Structure 1
């Protein structure tokens, strides 16, 4: 049985194609994409930023040049590690990344800016994690159509807006950062399974407590593939320590069901943030010959609720949150709004019960659309 039906009839091919055009227009609406020059450290002068985020990166991207920390879409034979310090401008608006204007160096007074960067080895990263405080490390796995600097600055935005307490780690796989490279990106994500699995094993074996994983879009596909791989390798010790949140996962529903059949019920239910009006996933569905994407399923459908309970996962419809762009694909990046709506101190918080739920952003409540008896918003 499928996780969820496709809804009230399949759209015509022309209607879906029209939606594709709308989504692509939204995705490509920004004026130019940031290049690797935005990773060059800038001098502060007399200015002292109010907030500086220290981020760590593990990437299967190859370096643009030896010894540098700018990365291409080429696949590296072994993961590369780096550390970045990024200042947040005092004018920062929640959910935004304040990029410098094209052709201009970042100004820390108005833009996100790299203050320092350096190469890092695996042992050095694990030492940082080992010596960090009690908060769980957070691994961010980006989605399709990202270059390295976009994914790095997105993690900086999430870190500053949600006040993530643990060590923030970007896992950057070699996306081509091109709308036409959907198939190539899927291959690049798949290529990165072993490296992400190794990172999660390292983190679990380095410290006590949980390790949090936040995956977006095609990064959700990569993450679930890694969970499946860990299960097949008998690493239940790792799976039992993971708290996984997936926002708008770009996964075929039948593939996801098959993955869950292998993974089984996690100690902490996988949390999936969905929105049926996600235009980017409508494009993905179109490219996949009409297959339903997990990130766009309808949490109000009784079959979805039943399947979520059966598989031990938590599905939350977040479509009441204001979208930050025309695609409706990036709602979860408004970390402050999401955290407030879930009545939690950070956007990485999850519901503790399996089932399907709907978030009411205006009322700041999460509830079951099926009058489930249990209290659904569990406080830690």
Structure 2
């Protein structure tokens, strides 16, 4: 692919990539984007939801109005903090967000904010330090997200995974627009110090481990934050982080250079990949055909050997049914992933560096090379 694009001018490559992005979006047949009205608190009256998720947000987006939890694309020098209680409707289906189909939000059928508050840094850390507070789980969203999409996606992931944790969305100022890929990359990079500082704060306040789950361009931002922590000498923070990245939009050579600085993590970084990820194929076009980490082929021995050498765990999740035509959002089906990855055998694999395959039907994680050897022995 790289050689096929090498003769094209940067302008033609950009035009081709934008056209591909639009084509992918049309394939998905996406509905209109949720607006800030979905963040308004609703009254429950006599309705009692079965489940309410308490979520925290840390964002480098500016508030559109002082004292209100409505966030735009303006960058802030200091992060803004908030808390939301989001109710889950009884008709909720795994991997889905039940957005309101009308201008008003109905908690009987829709995800809904039932209460919220403006916080500061001390307020967030107070919640982390609270007695019996669960492990913080930081979600870093990807390209083309607005704030409310990131918040509700975290609500969906939290309720579907049924994992005990203190969910925190780190939202950077994505423009939530298809042509804004380059601008989003700059906004993500702008936010790396804020994310690094948040992770350091959480580890210090928690005095224990912190989970980080990053998607797509959020993976780029997360690895940049890890690199920043290493350059600051904060190995005490790095040693307490459990990092999972889904479909990370990172150039393979850049990722190798980042890992050269970060070094081997005490807990290996877990990377969820799929070679048929169409969104990352488009990203590759923007990068003149460069390999993206989230689209690696784990059945390639070179990839497996490189993963072992770098001390990372790469898991192919392409057996999960795709939720849209991009094949970029399989991690939405976190219910299957969480139930499988929490099994003792899978947990042992996650502690090892190398390449593995997630089998959605069998609910197992195994080495593709061990499986191939087993098949050959049967012949």
TM-score, normalization: structure 1? 0.91
CA-to-partner distance for each residue in 1:10-67, whole Å, 9 max, x for gaps?
Answer: 69999x868645423245x222110000000011111100000000000000001011
Judging changes above 3 Å, is the alpha-carbon distance between structure 1 residues 148 and 280 closer, same or farther for their aligned structure 2 residues? same
CA-to-partner distance for each residue in 1:239-273, whole Å, 9 max, x for gaps?
Answer: 00000000000000000000001111000000000
Matches within 5 A, 1:324-339: 324-339=323-338
Q: 1-side partners of 2:135 and 2:22: how far apart? A: 40
Q: 1-side partners of 2:257 and 2:106: how far apart? A: 48
| 3-state DSSP of counterpart to 1:304 | helix
Judging changes above 3 Å, is the alpha-carbon distance between structure 1 residues 116 and 74 closer, same or farther for their aligned structure 2 residues? same
| 3-state DSSP of counterpart to 2:370 | coil
Matches within 5 A, 1:180-191: 180-191=179-190
Tell me, which stretches of 5 or more residues in structure 1 are unaligned?
A: 1-5, 373-380
Matches within 5 A, 1:100-115: 100-101=100-101, 103-115=102-114
Judging changes above 3 Å, is the alpha-carbon distance between structure 1 residues 322 and 349 closer, same or farther for their aligned structure 2 residues? farther
| 3-state DSSP of counterpart to 2:369 | coil
What corresponds to 1:160 in structure 2?
Answer: 159
Contact 1:341–1:360, Cα closer than 8 Å, also in 2: no
Q: 2-side partners of 1:66 and 1:359: how far apart? A: 46
Q: 1-side partners of 2:348 and 2:197: how far apart? A: 24
TM-superposed deviation, 1:344: 3.7
TM-superposed deviation, 1:342: 3.1
| 3-state DSSP of counterpart to 1:371 | helix
How many equivalent residue pairs? 364
Judging changes above 3 Å, is the alpha-carbon distance between structure 1 residues 21 and 81 closer, same or farther for their aligned structure 2 residues? closer
| 3-state DSSP of counterpart to 1:111 | coil
Matches within 5 A, 1:257-272: 257-272=256-271
| 3-state DSSP of counterpart to 2:160 | helix
Tell me, which stretches of 5 or more residues in structure 2 are unaligned?
A: 372-379
Contact 1:132–1:167, Cα closer than 8 Å, also in 2: no
Matches within 5 A, 1:143-182: 143-182=142-181
CA-to-partner distance for each residue in 1:133-165, whole Å, 9 max, x for gaps?
Answer: 263210000000000000000000001000131
| 3-state DSSP of counterpart to 2:62 | strand
Tell me, yes or no, if structure 1 residue 90 matches structure 2 residue 90. Answer: yes
What corresponds to 1:23 in structure 2?
Answer: 24
| 3-state DSSP of counterpart to 1:78 | strand
TM-superposed deviation, 1:104: 1.9
Q: 2-side partners of 1:114 and 1:32: how far apart? A: 19
Matches within 5 A, 1:180-219: 180-219=179-218
Q: 1-side partners of 2:156 and 2:201: how far apart? A: 25
Matches within 5 A, 1:1-380: 20-26=21-27, 29-101=29-101, 103-133=102-132, 135-344=134-343, 351-371=350-370
Judging changes above 3 Å, is the alpha-carbon distance between structure 1 residues 123 and 243 closer, same or farther for their aligned structure 2 residues? same
What corresponds to 2:374 in structure 1?
Answer: none
CA RMSD of aligned residues (A): 2.4
Contact 2:275–2:294, Cα closer than 8 Å, also in 1: yes
